[in-house]
Homo-oligomer: A and B are copies of this chain.
Amino acid sequence: MYSFKNDYSEGAYPRILTALMESNLVQEDGYGEDHYSRQAIELIKQKLGQADVDIHLLTGGTQTNLIAISAFLRPHEAAIAASTGHIFTHETGAIEATGHKVIAVETADGKLTTEQLQNVLDFHTDEHMVKPKLVYLSNSTEIGSIYNKEELEQISQFCREKNLILYMDGARLGSALCSSENDLKISDLPILVDAFYIGGTKNGALLGEALVICRDSLKDDFRFHIKQKGALLAKGRLLGVQFLELFRDDLFFDLAMHANKMADMIRDEIRNAGFTFLTHSPSNQIFPILPNSIISELQRKYAFLIWEIIDSGTSAIRLVTSWATKEEAVLEFIDDLKKTIIKL
């Protein structure tokens, strides 16, 4: 059974474990004040082309989202998200648990537009309603789509005009930036958004997300919030060493490139076989719509999620690739798929 269920089925990219081994017995200060974390942060700033950002290394996406959003907002302020957004339904109400409403917007493709944002602002007219204050985007989105530069620029400008905080969930930022359709550079982000995170967990690390705070007014006292939410690791070096390895060279991008390439191979094959997709997803998650008979056959050798029932005979499935996805497994999957199609 080979798994395409997600991009966190394996441990870490081996070079990262090696780095942990090599640094293991060096004595370091705790709580993120070690040399590895400091160096990793400097390296990321260099990649971003921005010295004037604050970077904090955290352990997971939900954790990063809830700490950032609760630190950025006052009690009456709310976040706006696509209804597919991770914070809206897949974080067990983590944002609400910190006191803030998440205002959901139905979208066609998991991406927000300025029109939708304007509608939200228009609806919230007075103090009987929450005050929409933060725009939450995921890139790539939870259904595999990505924002292009123009789209992000429009939203960025809108947020500035309306005094909204623009926050990007980058759990799969690597895959988004390495998509064949992408025209954003990582160095565009500090210019366009107020805060975002660079996802390590789904791109080669054991765990780890690098939160980048760009807007000055959001930076103060941030480490208090990390500690209060139980996210300040005693051995912060664990995160430092990993991000140092990911950004020492282009490993972070190489790994995402590989994941995308694996997804591209499967996507092309399925498209060529005449099937359609639930969403346009030029990243490491794809959602083909297949006859249930083919799905059943594939499930004998492969693990993946049934994403949505389309009709009585077809369903959309989710296939996810990662840095760890083996090319031979992809080729075998393609081969099995072809055989199944022929058989049926």
Contacts and interface: CB of A to CB of B under 8 A. Distances in A.
A270 interface: no
A11 B237 contact: yes
A227 B91 contact: yes
Contacts of A65: 230
Given A75-B70, A91-B128, A97 B14 contact: no
A109 interface: no
B94 A131 contact: no
Contact of A71 (B8, B67, B75, B225): B75
A20 B16 CA distance: 11
A17 B20 contact: yes
A235 B13 CA distance: 13
Interface in A84-121: 89-94, 96-102
Interface in A197-256: 201-202, 206-207, 221, 223-235, 237-238
A257 interface: no
A304 to B, nearest CB: 12
A295 B265 CA distance: 62
A5 B34 CA distance: 13
A150 B227 CA distance: 35
A67 to B, nearest CB: 7
Interface in A2-48: 2-3, 5-6, 8-12, 14, 17, 20-21, 23-31
Interface stretch (A56-64, A187-195, A272-280, A334-342): A56-64
A130 interface: yes
Nearest to A71: B75
A227 B94 CA distance: 8
A99 B62 CA distance: 16
Given A8-B235, A67-B230, A202-B234, A100 B94 contact: no
A324 interface: yes
B130 A221 contact: no
A168 to B, nearest CB: 18
A224 B76 contact: yes
A17 B97 CA distance: 35
A323 to B, nearest CB: 11
Contact of A75 (B2, B31, B97, B231): B97
Contacts of A230: 60, 62-67, 91, 94, 229-231
Given A10-B25, A10-B27, A20-B11, A76 B99 contact: no
A24 B8 contact: no
Nearest to A4: B27
A74 B67 CA distance: 12
A101 B96 contact: yes
Q: Closest 8 A-B residue pairs measured CB to CB?
A: A63-B230, A76-B224, A11-B24, A92-B228, A8-B234, A93-B101, A127-B223, A93-B130
25 contacts: A5-B29, A9-B30, A11-B20, A11-B238, A12-B20, A25-B324, A31-B128, A59-B233, A60-B234, A62-B227, A63-B229, A67-B230, A70-B75, A75-B97, A76-B228, A90-B129, A91-B228, A91-B230, A94-B230, A97-B100, A99-B99, A127-B224, A207-B233, A207-B238, A230-B230
